[in-house]
Amino acid sequence: MPAELSPIDMAKFVAARRAVDFVEDGMKLGLGTGSTAAWMVRCLAERIRAEGLRVTGVPTSTRTAELARDLGVPVASLEQAGWLDLTIDGADEFDAELNLIKGGGAALLQEKIVASASDRMVVIADAAKEVARLGAFPLPVEVIPFGWQTTQALIEEMLAGMDVDARAVTLRKSGDAPLLTDEKNHILDLHLKRIGNPRQLAMMLNQIPGVVENGLFIDICDAVVVGHADGRVTVRDLEGVQEGRVDPGLVRNIFADPGN
Ligand SMILES: O=C[C@H](O)[C@H](O)[C@H](O)COP(=O)(O)O
């Protein structure tokens, strides 16, 4: 186990540990991507080890698939699993209506497909991800490489008529080359500062030729679990907020197995 977790990692662990309580024996689960989702995979592996929990996980990226396999979480493709009971994933931003920006780790396409194929999507996050208005985090849009410059120009033209505070669009790079997603597409990041109407923007983006998917998750998330470094945890859904606590010391169990 690392000597001491940073407060942000502890908050992510606390959120992940609480969300994994929603998992029941026999469930088919969507496994999200990113640093917070990685905590969820670790917590899930620990429950599998400690309780003999039986689950099938559908990873939303090659990174998550690798981590799950390494930790002994059984994985299947979405095609093999079919409909899922629950997806647990991170987010870059969430608002009071539980709408999200996702894709900071370039996994938005698979994440949206998997979340949409689930009875329930639960987001895990630290408190810094909560915003009054979506848009401070650059909005990722996955585009096919063919003619991506034209797709970018069409997005810029569309943004001219939208209620946003900024309109810069940049191609995400990995080193000097355009980043390639798991599906071998590129990511355009939309620097909007504030999105006035996320629902409308999500629909408009997906009408542009060359756009595969955008990182706005509208009406997909059912609950957000927010963790704090001191162990406090809040579970928020559209009905209300539930306060709780996770013992931060439980993080030791995660690292009890040398495999972790
Ligand atoms: O593409 C990546 C995903 O949408 C992540 O879930 C999101 O970027 C949050 O990642 P993290 O938990 O590392 O902040």
CATH number of the CATH domain containing 193: 3.30.70.260
Three-class secondary structure assignment of the chain: CCCCCCHHHHHHHHHHHHHHCCCCCCCEEEECCCHHHHHHHHHHHHHHHHHCCCCEEEECCHHHHHHHHHHCCCECCHHHHCCEEEEEECCCEECCCCCEECCCCCCHHHHHHHHHCEEEEEEEEEHHHECCCCCCCCEEEEECCCCHHHHHHHHHHHHCCCCECCCEEEECEECCEECCCCCCCEEEEEECCCECCHHHHHHHHCCCCCEEEECEECCCCCEEEEECCCCEEEEEECCCEEEEECCHHHHHHHCCCCCC
Task: Verify that 28 and 157 share a domain, yes or no.
Answer: no
Q: Given this model, what pLDDT does residue 259 score? A: 54
Residues 232, 178, single domain; the answer is no
Co-location of 73 and 114 in the same domain: yes
ipTM over 0.95: yes
Residue nearest to atom 8 of ligand 1 (CA): 104
To the question of whether residue 244 is assigned a binding role by annotation, the answer is no
> Is 111 among the residues known to form the active site?
yes
Q: Does 259 reside within a domain?
A: no
User: 225 and 172 share a domain?
Assistant: no
- Distance of CA 37 from the midpoint of ligand 1 (Å): 7
* Residue 237 covered by a domain: yes
Please check whether residue 26 lies inside any domain of the structure.
yes
> Any idea how long the chain is?
260
Domain that holds residue 38: 7-131+219-254
Give pTM, 2 decimals.
0.96
Is residue 62 situated within a structural domain? yes
CATH code assigned at 35: 3.40.50.1360
The annotation status of 103 as a binding-site residue, yes or no, is yes
Provide the domain count of the chain.
Answer: 2
> What's the pLDDT at 94?
98
Query: Is 227 annotated as contributing to ligand binding?
Result: no
Q: Output the pLDDT for position 254.
A: 85
- Nearest C-alpha to atom 10 of ligand 1 is from which residue? 34
34 lies in the same domain as 124: yes
Backbone torsions φ then ψ of 255, nearest 5 degrees: -100, 10
Q: Are residues 207 and 100 in the same domain?
A: no
Atom 12 of ligand 1, nearest CA residue: 36
Whether 224 and 244 map to the same domain: the answer is yes
C-beta of 105 in contact with ligand 1 (< 6 A): yes
Q: Please tell me whether residues 158 and 49 are part of one structural domain.
A: no
Q: Is 51 domain-assigned? A: yes
pLDDT in 10s for each residue of the chain, 260 residues? 555 899 999 999 999 999 999 999 999 999 999 999 999 999 999 999 999 999 999 999 999 999 999 999 999 999 999 999 999 999 999 999 999 999 999 999 999 999 999 999 999 999 999 999 999 999 999 999 999 999 999 999 999 999 999 999 999 999 999 999 999 999 999 999 999 999 999 999 999 999 999 999 999 999 999 999 999 999 999 999 999 999 999 999 988 765 55
Q: Is 103 in the pocket of ligand 1 (CB under 6 A)?
A: yes
User: What's the 226 CA to ligand 1 centre distance in angstroms?
Assistant: 14
Asked if 147 and 86 sit in the same domain, the reply is no
Residues 186 and 224 in one domain: no
